[in-house]
């Protein structure tokens, strides 16, 4: 599916015409990152937007976003919103607080639920555990390609943000309130004094203050890897961007999803010009930032990735594949793009500390510490 967020009639029409097959309807009272301020509190917009969407595309998938971290006085409002969504025909809900899953299932027994946390889930094992409690999981910037590859068939229940802004800080408190007058919301860009030319975006609304990274996530250069994951959905976040950005991003990824030929370079250039931000893969690749360090890996299978390093003691590795007999020797590609050979390896379970010779994806094991091998280094098993 090609998924995107909508808040207005125009958003719905533009998104469907561009090729979206799943719309996430927002109401600013129950979502923290909406750039549209809803005045009415009856949630009648759910019925209105659903009607427009179904008239344009009867097969459209529709969800309601409830991504606030609720306080006590929010639960009555959330229940009212859920009922309005149900009356409009919505049976799919997206939450950030997993505790809301119980409330939703109590009110809507046949609901499908997507857990869409703004942070978290850095390992295949944690994603597997989350999927024990919800139908789908949506991940954004923190989860890298190797983690997703380690999910196997479960990747078909995962959505990945492929395009759009990356939130790096959020506060329920309105830090900008009062600084620029009495407006309901404030949208400002500020230069990073430590890095000339980098402008981070601050958006302040009644739901709090959000800070965004200076570049957008863009996975157009990583289409072969994306297609290979067999994901449930590709998420395009065009909130706060122009109609031109929304149309180009959605239509491009729809074509890419259908395996049509596209020109990533020219489209990335256009997206950069429209948004006035660089377009980068973020932390999708196997590295510390957003650079591609895969040259030494080539087509070889990755056996594990280093998750922690304690000098002179051990490395914590996360296994990426089923291994019936763990190797005594392997190659390690460091984040500095150096190749090291490790020999005489032995493996211990990270919890019981018992030695083991077999492993499955997501397991955490300990191996002896190796100088120069830091977190996110990759182990290539023979």
User: Each residue of 94-150: pLDDT tens digit?
Assistant: 998 888 999 999 999 999 999 988 776 667 778 888 888 899 988 877 777 877 877
The residue with greater pLDDT, 225 or 351, is 351
- For the chain, how far is it from start to end, CA to CA, in angstroms? 37
Least trusted range by pLDDT, from 26-35, 53-62, 212-221, 297-306: 297-306
Q: What is the mean pLDDT of the chain?
A: 85
Residue 116: other Cβ atoms inside 10 A: 23
Domain locations along the chain: 2-164+216-280, 302-381
Burial tier of 131 (Cβ tally within 10 Å: 0-12, 13-18, 19+): middle
Half-sphere exposure of 298 (CA within 13 A, CB side): 5
Nearest CA-CA partner of 217 in 141, 286, 139, 146: 141
- Asked if residues 116 and 138 have their Cβ atoms less than 8 Å apart, the reply is yes
CATH homologous superfamily of 2-164+216-280 equals Aldolase class I (3.20.20.70)
Please, which pLDDT band fits residue 296 given cuts at 50, 70 and 90?
very low
pLDDT tens string 51-77: 999 999 999 999 999 988 888 888 999
Tell whether the model's pLDDT for residue 294 goes beyond 50: no
Q: Output DSSP code: residue 355.
A: B
User: Who contacts 330 (Cβ-Cβ below 8 Å, separation ≥6)?
Assistant: 303, 341, 342, 345, 379, 380, 381, 382
Q: Output DSSP code: residue 336.
A: T
SS3 assignment, position 189: strand
- In angstroms, the CA 286 to CA 294 distance is 7
DSSP assignment of 100-129 equals HHHHHHHH-TT-EEEE--SS---SHHHHHH
Helices (H) and strands (E) in the chain, counts: 9, 19
Backbone angles phi, psi at 367, to 5 degrees: -130, 165
* CATH class as words, domain 302-381: mainly beta
- In angstroms, the CA 28 to CA 169 distance is 18
pLDDT at residue 192, as a whole number: 73
pLDDT tens string 333-363: 888 778 888 888 999 999 999 999 999 888 8
Per the structure block, which two tokens stand in for 377? 């280094």
pLDDT at residue 290, as a whole number: 43
Q: Rounded mean pLDDT of 248-269?
A: 89
């Amino acid at each position: 599916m090609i998924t995107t967020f909508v808040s207005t009639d125009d958003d719905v029409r533009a998104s469907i015409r561009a090729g979206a097959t799943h719309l996430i309807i927002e109401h600013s009272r129950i979502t923290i990152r909406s750039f549209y301020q809803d005045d009415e509190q009856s949630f009648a917009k759910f019925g209105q937007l659903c009607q427009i969407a179904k008239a344009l595309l009867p097969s459209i998938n529709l969800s309601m976003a409830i991504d606030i971290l609720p306080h006590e006085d929010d639960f009555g409002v959330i229940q009212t919103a859920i009922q309005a969504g149900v009356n409009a025909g919505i049976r799919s809900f997206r939450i950030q607080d997993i505790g809301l899953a119980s409330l939703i299932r109590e009110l809507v027994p046949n609901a499908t639920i997507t857990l869409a946390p703004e942070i978290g889930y850095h390992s295949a094992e944690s994603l597997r555990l989350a999927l024990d409690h919800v139908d789908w999981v949506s991940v954004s910037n923190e989860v890298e390609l190797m983690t997703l590859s380690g999910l196997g068939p479960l990747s078909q229940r995962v959505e990945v943000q492929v395009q759009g802004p990356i939130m790096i800080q959020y506060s329920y408190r309105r830090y900008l309130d009062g600084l620029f007058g009495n407006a309901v919301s404030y949208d400002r860009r500020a230069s990073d004094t430590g890095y000339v030319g980098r402008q981070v975006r601050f958006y302040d609304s009644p739901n709090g203050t959000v800070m965004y990274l200076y570049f957008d996530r863009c996975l157009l250069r990583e289409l072969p890897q994306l297609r290979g994951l067999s994901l449930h959905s590709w998420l395009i976040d065009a909130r706060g961007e122009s109609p031109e950005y929304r149309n180009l991003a959605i239509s491009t990824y729809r074509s890419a999803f259908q395996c049509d030929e596209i020109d990533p370079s020219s489209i990335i250039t256009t997206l950069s010009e429209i948004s006035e931000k660089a377009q980068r893969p973020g932390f999708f690749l196997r590295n510390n930032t957003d650079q591609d360090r895969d040259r030494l890996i080539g087509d070889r299978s990755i056996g594990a990735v280093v998750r922690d390093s304690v000098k002179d003691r051990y490395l914590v590795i996360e296994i990426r594949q089923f291994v019936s007999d763990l190797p005594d020797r392997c190659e390690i590609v460091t984040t500095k793009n150096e190749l090291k050979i490790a020999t005489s390896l032995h493996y211990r379970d990270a919890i019981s500390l018992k030695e083991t010779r077999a492993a499955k994806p997501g397991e955490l094991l300990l191996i002896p510490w190796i100088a120069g091998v830091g977190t996110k280094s990759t182990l290539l098993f023979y």
